[in-house]
Structure 1
Amino acid sequence: MLRIEQLTKRFGDKKAVDTATFTIDQPAMVGIIGRSGAGKSTLLRMINRLADASEGRIVFDGQDVTQLKGAEKRQWQSRCAMIFQQFNLVPRMDVVSNVLHGTLNRRSTLATMFNLFPQDDIHKAIEILDRLGIAEQAPKRAEALSGGQQQRVAIARALMQDPAMILADEPIASLDPMNAQIVMDALRRIHEEDGRMVVANLHTLDTARRYCDRVIGMRDGCIVFDGTPEQLTTGVARDIYGAGAEFSEAATSTAIETLDRTRTAFVPA
Structure 2
Amino acid sequence: MLQVKSVTRMFGAKAAVDDISFSVDGPAFVGIIGRSGAGKSTFLRMMNRLTDASAGQILVNGRDVLALRGAAAREWQSQCAMIFQQFNLVPRMDVVSNVLCGILNRRSTLQTMFSLWSRADILRALDILDRLGIAEQAPKRAEALSGGQQQRVAIARALMQDPRIILADEPIASLDPMNAQVVMDTLKRINVEDGRMVIANLHTLDTARRYCDRVIGMRDGRIVFDGRPEQLSTGVARDIYGAGADFNEAATSTAIPADRAPDRAWADAMLA
TM-score, scaled to structure 2? 0.92
Cα-to-partner distance string for 1:87-117 (whole Å, 9 max, x where unaligned): 0000000000000000111111111111111
User: Aligned pair 1:248/2:246, yes or no?
Assistant: yes
1:48 counterpart residue number: 48
Shift of 1:249: 1.9
Name 1:210's counterpart in structure 2.
210
Unaligned runs of 5+ in 2: 254-272
The CA deviation string for residues 211-242 of structure 1, in whole angstroms up to 9 with x for no partner, is: 00000000000000000001011110011001
User: Where do residues 99-110 of structure 1 align in structure 2 (5 Å cutoff)?
Assistant: 99-110=99-110
Query: Which position in structure 1 is the counterpart of 2:11?
Result: 11
Secondary structure class of the residue paired with 1:256: coil
Partner of 2:21: 21
Question: Map of 1:80-99 to 2, 5 A cutoff?
Answer: 80-99=80-99
1:106-136: CA deviation from partner (whole Å, max 9, x where unpaired): 1111111111111101000000001000000
Contact 1:204 1:254 in 2 (8 A): no
Is residue 120 from structure 1 mapped to residue 120 from structure 2 by the alignment? yes
Match of 1:198 in 2: 198
Letter of the structure 2 residue corresponding to residue 128 of structure 1? I
How many angstroms apart in 1 are the aligned matches of 2:201 and 2:246? Answer: 20
Would you say the 8 A contact 1:207–1:254 is kept in 2? no
Q: 1-side partners of 2:59 and 2:112: how far apart?
A: 31
- SS, match of residue 78 in structure 2: helix
Letter in 2 for 1:122: I
Query: Following the alignment from structure 2 to structure 1, what is the Cα–Cα distance between the partners of residues 59 and 166?
Result: 16
Deviations 1:40-79 (A, max 9, x none): 0000000000000000001001111011011100000000
Cα separation, 2, equivalents of 1:243 and 1:32: 19
Say if 2:130 is the partner of 1:137: no
User: What secondary structure sits across from 2:59 in the alignment?
Assistant: strand
Unpaired runs of 5+ in structure 1? 258-269
Distance in 1, Cα, partners of 2:71 & 2:108: 13
1:64 is aligned to: 64
Counterpart residue number, 1:152: 152
Once residues 241 and 227 of structure 1 are traced to their aligned partners in structure 2, the CA distance between those partners, rounded to angstroms, is 16
Deviation at 1:256, TM superposition (A): 1.7
1:156 partner amino acid: A
Tell me by how many angstroms 1:248 deviates.
3.0
What per-residue deviation string (whole Å, max 9, x for no partner) do you get for residues 140-185 of structure 1? 0000000000000000000000000000000000000000000000
Are 1:39 and 2:35 matched, yes or no? no
Helix, strand or coil for the counterpart of 1:115? coil
Q: CA deviation at 1:243?
A: 1.9
